[in-house]
Amino acid sequence: MRAVKAILTLVVDLLLVSIVAAVIIINYGAYASTSTYECFGLVTKPGTAKSEETKLFIKIRHYGWWLWTDSDGLLHYEIPNTTTRGLFFKLQKVEDYINIYHDGLKLLQGQFSTVSNVLFVNTTDEEIFTGSCKPN
């Protein structure tokens, strides 16, 4: 009887330690890596010939394999000295590209090439940024 009680105590202790470790990893270690880029390019409005040279910063946070989600990470962007900034919660890595989506929507909002570091992203409903990025 003592042996069974000792084994059950050990199993419960191991289970509790596993649960605590999982909670810590998920809440504090969700990101496997973070990359920051400075991008130079053009902001254009579809249907117009007008474009404007712009500098844009992006931060890509890649989720670790242990985080059970349908997204591979998130992307935050901002254009300095403006109020233009945004956050995309759904990224999907497809070979050498990271496809950018709005959370829950299947509409492609942009794409980042991990080979050439070229980015295009809808910064607003009416504007698209297209440019080249370098690690920051």
Q: Mind listing the pLDDT tens digit for each residue in 2-44?
A: 888 889 898 888 998 888 766 666 565 556 789 999 999 999 9
State the pLDDT at residue 24.
Answer: 63
Better-predicted residue by pLDDT, 51 or 22? 51
Domain range list for the chain: 31-135
Name the DSSP letter for residue 64: P
Model confidence, pTM: 0.76
Give the span between the Cα atoms of 40 and 53, in whole angstroms. Answer: 7
Confidence of residue 63 (pLDDT cuts 50, 70, 90): confident
